[in-house]
Structure 1
Amino acid sequence: MLDRYARVLGGERPEHTWQRLFLTRMETVALGVLLLAEHGWNLSVINRFKVPQAAPDAGNDGPRIYRVELEKHKRGAGRYFETRNLTDDGAASPGRLITQALEATVFARAAVHTLSPGTDRFLIWRSAKAPLDPQDETSKKSGIGVFGFGISGSTAKSWATQQGFSSSPFRRGRRTVNTLHRRVPGQNSQATHDRVYALADPQVRQAAIPVIAEAAEAVVTKAHATAFAAELREGADPADQPTATADCHDYDNSPYPGPGGGCSASFLMCLACPNARIHPAHHSRLAHLHHALDNLRTAIEPDQWQNQWEDGHAGLEHLKGQLGAAVWTRALADVTNTDRELIALLLNGDLAP
């Protein structure tokens, strides 16, 4: 090298000369780690990565859309390849790293194309010298001349050691990225992502506990609201119409209208009706009905009880919780013969709505 060029570059060492244009082997591993972190791909996919093809954009200022081809040999013959479209329309977009990687490898890809036209490998790095045996078939597959392709497992381990990690970042890193950060499939189906990654990860299971509990509580709250919509009152309204389980505030405008108008719902459905009004005169009768349904549960087939009585029982459970244990206990003590007779008729189906 001429001295004047060396002075301008800062020296004749690799970092002053060819490393200005080409990635090193370790820099290529670092790029692979970024691809892992951004897209959740595994090392075999990153290692075989082909140059993404940019689709025509809407104009000079339009976003870049890359067609990325993922090679996955574990899927079996005929299903090796899968394509993704990644758009670069800003710093936080999924295609921005692809744009930056293309810029970082442009000179290496141009040099390799000159040596071997048609080569479409994306991750290309330069070494200080060519392989010792240029006729070695393994060398031919992994590179051309002083240029190498992809990331080997041993190179990934070497990079990890240099960075102070105990092992290659790709295997465990991919699981962490897909389950804890991206939380969406990287290169798998949703079913595989859920079964192999999310459900198998202890941190995901632990984090899911409060989410599941909150969802279950919301379901219970919704069920209670559906099973019990009656309004609690301190006393009766003379304008209301008494029924077997509550007072009806608006019989002609029922949520369950009959063919000829009025209400077609059973008296147990009164608990789930916003037109129903419940006051202390109903407490003993409803407490007795709740007790009778508990006894009925043990006397008939479970499916029959669920189909006929479970919703009404759920409404009474909700009412019991609203009134409190003391009021409910007192109501059971105040049950009259009239209450018993009325509830017996109700359970036997002798009361028509």
Structure 2
Amino acid sequence: MSGRGRGSGHRAVMPPAEFQATPRLAPDGLEVTVINKGGHARVFDFGELKVPVPMQHSLARTFAAQSRTWTGHASANSYWNSVLAFDRFLDAQGHPAQDLDELTSATLRLWRNNHKETAGGRNSMTQMRTLLKRDRRLAVGLAAEELARRVPSRGPSKQSYEGPERERMVLAAERQFRAALLRIRENTFLLEQWQAAEFTERSREGRIGAILDHLAKTGDVPRTVHASGQSSVTNTALLGGAGALVTWGRLFLTRQELTALAVMLTDRFAWNLSMFDRVPVPVRTPSAGEARTITYQVQVEKRRAGGGRWFSMENITDSGADSPGRLVTKALEATAHGRALAARLAPGIDLLMVARSQQPSMAVNDLDRPPRVGPLAFGVSYDDGKRWGRSHGLGGSPFQRSRRTTVTQEGRPLQHSRGTHESVYVLPDKNVQKAARSVIAAGAEEALQRARDTTFKGRLTNAADPGHQETATTDCADEETSPWPAPAGGCGADFLLCLACPNSRVHTGHHPRLAHLHQQLTALHSAWPEEMWRGRWDNHLQRLEDLRDKVSSLVWDAALARVTGADRTIVDLLLKGQLAP
């Protein structure tokens, strides 16, 4: 049993005998009812389609079957729009099929070609493909083969913000929310002073305090109702006007100010826009040994994660002005009066993102979002984001781009899987690709340098030169110009580094000793820990292998037959580190 079940104090019981779940498909086979997570129903009437009646029934059945996977009306509306688009397409053909089993591959191919070039068209293709594949009659045949074709994908239409764009967006949100927080903080302090009887009743502060008390309890300032039935703010002179910010806005956020807060939260935590509609008030937990530190537990909703994985908890700590949790602290302070009023008007509501609606009487059409409580609205809609973006000259809603920016900058999955992180957020993002160029170039340069460092840099000769100095591994043409000069002059390199020196010369007389050294280093590899091996011997072995390739493996292997006792002694001393240059 879940924790919720254990703590509820109620036993699981069977429903009453007369109980019946709302059927998805009406008896006439044409109306499909979709009930969202909040218990609200919406009916989709397939009898309105222009296709023949048998096909109307078939589409309704597939729609009803698919609806079992939906938890909100948003998915239902999206699929319904795809059905309407498919209906218009078939009607335009002049002689549509009577039912789904009469759809030809040519018709489906034409539908595909007409819709594959736009994002909306590809979405309709994907959804209709899902619905049509639910009909068993389309499981085989040429039409089934056409449905099996993958829907062409394009890069995401939204890209992450570049540095200046993001700074502009965040600065606009911070300025708007900070002004709102200071306004609410100032009026809250005045209200607390009035409640503590620190003002006289006739003083200006005392009169405003009384208005604020009325505002906190009702969600609005006192108003005068005129004979016409319309009302106006009673104390405009005292309050400084009748606008929202000097009346009910003294204790409540406006919708645009709440949107600014959501923009800041998305930039900080990469939360989905839909999460703001349902995020509960964060739970404050004690921080052991840290009196000034506050840790919040925030419930994060992942609606696409599947049953049983919708929710997770994030611990967010407020340890100072620049810590992530400080924004949560400010959000709690700015929404305190809204949350208190909501709890009085509708006990049990415990949502963080609350604002006072400019038009409380306006009906809410989106039943997937929390219903209003009195003058209060919860969460942030897509339209709120578009209005906020346009008002700040950003062109549109900032949420998708802001979330993408935070996810790519964090470099790890946030509210989604590793596969989604890589395929949807990281790889298609142009700013990530642009930033990766320098990383890839640096990696290529490093690889090239490493390749150069592990290759034989000397020269191959046929015979020894009497003017060259013999070393333990090669001959040296000029030790005075060594890449590793000694403090007292000459060369200070280890004899194994001779292979990396352009002054080194290797002739056939060196082959037996070097081939034996290569053989011993190869045997030594299996006896050493990998990390120690790479630090001490790996580069030398790679240079020997590069030299073997230059000499040829046949000559190299044949040289092993000519290894002398002196060669073995010198190699042994080299490996023991007992040969000084």
The reply to whether residue 236 of structure 1 matches residue 236 of structure 2 is no
Q: Secondary structure at the match of 1:22?
A: coil
Q: 1:43 aligns with which of 273, 298, 307?
A: 273
Q: Secondary structure at the match of 1:57?
A: coil
> Quick check: 2:457–2:501 contact (8 Å CA) kept in 1?
no
TM-score by length of 2: 0.42
Cα distance change, pair 206–60 in 1 and its aligned pair in 2 (3 A)? closer
- Residue aligning to 1:84: 314
Quick one: distance in 2 between partners of 1:145 and 1:23? 15
Q: 1:1-353 counterparts in 2 under 5 A?
A: 1=222, 6-58=236-288, 61-131=291-361, 138=367, 141-179=370-408, 181-226=409-454, 235-237=468-470, 240-241=471-472, 273-274=496-497, 282-285=505-508, 312-314=544-546, 344=555, 346-347=557-558, 349-352=560-563, 353=568
Q: Secondary structure at the match of 1:121?
A: coil
Moved more, 213-222 or 37-46: 213-222
Moved more, 142-151 or 41-50: 41-50
Query: CA offsets, 1:97-156, max 9 Å, x none?
Result: 11111111011011101112221211101114433569x994993321111110111222
Quick one: distance in 1 between partners of 2:500 and 2:440? 35
> Quick check: 1:235–1:279 contact (8 Å CA) kept in 2?
no
> Quick check: 2:469–2:475 contact (8 Å CA) kept in 1?
no
Q: Letter of the aligned partner of 2:422 in structure 1?
A: D
Moved more, 122-131 or 75-84: 122-131
Structure number with the bigger relative contact order (C-alpha 8 A, sep ≥ 6) is 1
Q: Secondary structure at the match of 2:324?
A: coil
Q: Letter of the aligned partner of 2:389 in structure 1?
A: A
State the superposition RMSD in angstroms. 4.1
Quick one: distance in 2 between partners of 1:286 and 1:115? 98
Quick one: distance in 2 between partners of 1:279 and 1:5? 92
Report sequence identity in percent. 35
- Residue aligning to 1:328: none
**Cα displacement (A) at 1:211:** 1.0
**Cα displacement (A) at 1:287:** 12
Q: Secondary structure at the match of 1:84?
A: strand
**Cα displacement (A) at 1:284:** 4.8
Q: Letter of the aligned partner of 1:350 in structure 2?
A: A
Quick one: distance in 2 between partners of 1:191 and 1:272? 50
Q: Structure 2: state its 5+ residue gaps.
A: 1-221, 224-232, 459-466, 477-493, 513-540, 569-581
Query: CA offsets, 1:163-207, max 9 Å, x none?
Result: 23332111122223322x444443334443233212111221122
Moved more, 60-69 or 22-31: 60-69
Quick one: distance in 2 between partners of 1:47 and 1:348? 78
Cα distance change, pair 217–272 in 1 and its aligned pair in 2 (3 A)? farther
> Quick check: 1:228–1:272 contact (8 Å CA) kept in 2?
no
Quick one: distance in 2 between partners of 1:20 and 1:282? 86
Quick one: distance in 1 between partners of 2:354 and 2:502? 81
Quick one: distance in 1 between partners of 2:356 and 2:308? 33
> Quick check: 1:71–1:82 contact (8 Å CA) kept in 2?
yes
> Quick check: 2:455–2:542 contact (8 Å CA) kept in 1?
no
**Cα displacement (A) at 1:84:** 1.1
Cα distance change, pair 201–287 in 1 and its aligned pair in 2 (3 A)? farther
Q: Secondary structure at the match of 1:67?
A: strand
How many aligned residue pairs are there?
A: 281
Cα distance change, pair 16–211 in 1 and its aligned pair in 2 (3 A)? same
Query: CA offsets, 1:43-97, max 9 Å, x none?
Result: 1223322211111124673211111111011111111012111111122211111
Q: Letter of the aligned partner of 1:282 in structure 2?
A: R
